[in-house]
Amino acid sequence: MAQPDAAMPREGETSTPFDSDFLKKLEYLYIISKKLYRQKLKGERRAMQHGSSVEFRDYRDYSRGDDFRYIDWNIFRRLERLLVKLFEEEHEHDVTILVDVSRSMHFGSPTKLLYAKQVAAALAYISLANHDRVGIVRFTDQLTGQLPKVRGKGQIWNVFEFLERQEPDLSGCTALAEVCREVAMRARRPGIAILLSDLMDAQPGAFEEAVKHLTYRRFEVYVIHIVEPSEQEPTIKGDLNLVDSETREVREVSIDSQLLLRYREAWKTFCQELESFCRSRGLIYLQTDTSHIFDELILRVFRQGGFLE
């Protein structure tokens, strides 16, 4: 969790996050995902609207003006009722990946930012491979960079290049609410919003407000909470001045085992609040720490969280 007086990038950690091994893992993940989920030409994810695909969804009573072609005559012959068949509408989706690059993301080993970039790259690869449009937004207390939406598997190299260029903003605080509000406002049509952050916003209720902005624009929101092990289980002790890496707020503490116990309880409560809030909104909340092996995360944690249907 803590690094003495330095939130500076470590050399070599971010220089080549997407090496050949990483690419092999991505290809493996893609194959697995293809086996798990059959995809259609017009886009791989089912939209909420009823459409004209061949995938049957439901019946409804005929009403004036409906297309006669969709009347189920077999039903009419048996039941003498006019019912119209409904079909799933399938189309391509916009996937917006929001990557937190604030100073607090530059903690841990590997850093939370590096971990977030790898997760973002994997998600972008799978999405592009499934014919979705993928855009990446980096933010601190504001939007500080953006990869315009791209489509096609061949665009993955642009994604990698964009992500590789992302360095932590050492002066940046986290302002989730403002950032999400801006993303929601700029979006032409709602899609999938994947938030990769440690959610360390000093403003109380900022996370909830941010999620509200996105869901208001009918975004499907996936929250991936990236933590480092020492945040959950701190090992520091003694009389310390704890300096907030973003706000520079100093908290004078005398840490003993009792206080550490209370910290763990507070941390657990904090995470439970986030998860219960997401669950109450029908959103997907996943917590992962940087010690998890990356490919396992994609296959196990993402599937457990229902991220890939």
Partner 1 sequence: MRFQFLPGLWLFLTLLPIIVLFILRLRRRSLVVPSVTIWNRVLKRRPQSALWRRLKQLISLLLHLAVASLLALALARPFLSDRLAPQRIVVVIDASASMTALLPQQGGDQTRFTRALELARSIVADIGPEDHAMIVRAGPRPSVVAAMTDDRASLLNALEDLSASEAQGNLPAALSLALAACRTETTLLSLEAKQGASSPPAPEPDGDTPAVEFEVFVLSDGDGRQEPGDSSHSAAAAAPPADAPDALPKNTRIFYIPLGEAEEPNVAITAFRARRLPSSANGGARLSADFEVLVRLRNFGPDLARAQVELHLDGELLDDLGEVEVPAGQEVSLPLRALSLREGGVLKLAIASDGDALPTDDVAFALIGRLEPTRVLLVQAVQDVFLRNALAHDGELAVEAISPEHYPPSSGRWDVTIFEGWLPPKLPEGNVILVAPRGQANPFSIDEEIEGPVVKDWNRDHPVLSYVVLEGAAFLSAQRIEVLPSGSWSVLADAWRGPLILASDEPSRRLVYFGFAFTDTDLVLRPSFPVLISNAIQWASERELSGRHEQLRTGAVARFTLTESTGDSGLSPLASVIRPDGSVDTLPLHGEAFSYPHTERVGVYVAVAGSPAVLEQWEGSPPATPLTTAAQPGRRPGGAGGSLGFLRSLAEWTRQQAGAKPPPPHHLLATNLLSAQESDLGTRPTLGVGETVLDNPEPRFHRELRLDLLWAALALLALEWLLYTIGVF
Site of interaction with partner 1 (CB under 8 A): 1-7, 103-105, 107, 198, 200-202, 228, 231, 236, 238-247, 249-254, 259, 262-263, 266-267, 269-270
C-beta closer to partner 1: residue 71 or 236: 236
B/e letters for 88-119, b = 16+ CB within 10 Å, e = fewer, are bbbebbbbbbbbbbbbbbbbbebbbbbbbbbb
CA 236 to each of CA 5, 35, 87, 289: distance values in angstroms, whole numbers, following the listed order: 14, 46, 58, 19
CB nearer to partner 1: give 127 or 197: 197
Sign of CA dihedral 78, 79, 84, 90: negative
CA dihedral 253, 229, 289, 141 (to 10 degrees): 30
How near is the Cβ of 4 to partner 1 at its closest, in Å?
A: 6
- In angstroms, give the least distance from the CB of 180 to partner 1: 18
Smallest gap from residue 232 Cβ to partner 1 (A): 10
> Shortest distance, CB of residue 3 to partner 1, whole angstroms?
6
Q: How far is Cα 185 from Cα 75, in angstroms, rounded to an integer?
A: 46
Closest contact distance (angstroms) between CB of 102 and partner 1 is 9
Q: How far is CA 180 from the centre of its chain?
A: 12
Residue placing its CB nearer to partner 1 in the complex, 31 or 250: 250
CB-CB contact of 167 with 101 (8 Å)? yes
Q: Identify which of 233, 229, 239, 226 has the alpha carbon closest to the alpha carbon of residue 266.
A: 233
Nearer to partner 1, 31 or 261 (CB): 261
Query: Within its chain, how far is the Cα of 128 from the centroid?
Result: 15
How far apart, in whole angstroms, are the C-alpha atoms of residue 4 and residue 113? 18
Q: How many CB atoms lie within 10 A of CB 13?
A: 14
Minimum distance of partner 1 from residue 233's CB (angstroms) = 12
* Cβ distance to partner 1 smaller for residue 65 or 238: 238
Nearer to partner 1, 241 or 304 (CB): 241
Give 94 or 231: the residue with its C-beta nearer to partner 1.
Answer: 231
Amino acid at 97: I
> 215 or 290: whose CB is closer to partner 1?
290
Please give the Cα distance from 3 to 230 (Å, whole number).
Answer: 10
Contact 154, 57 (CB under 8 A): no
Shortest distance (Å) from residue 90 CB to partner 1: 42
CB 133 within 8 A of CB 151: yes
Are 100 and 196 in contact by the 8 Å Cβ rule? The answer is yes
Find the shortest distance in angstroms from Cβ 249 to partner 1.
6
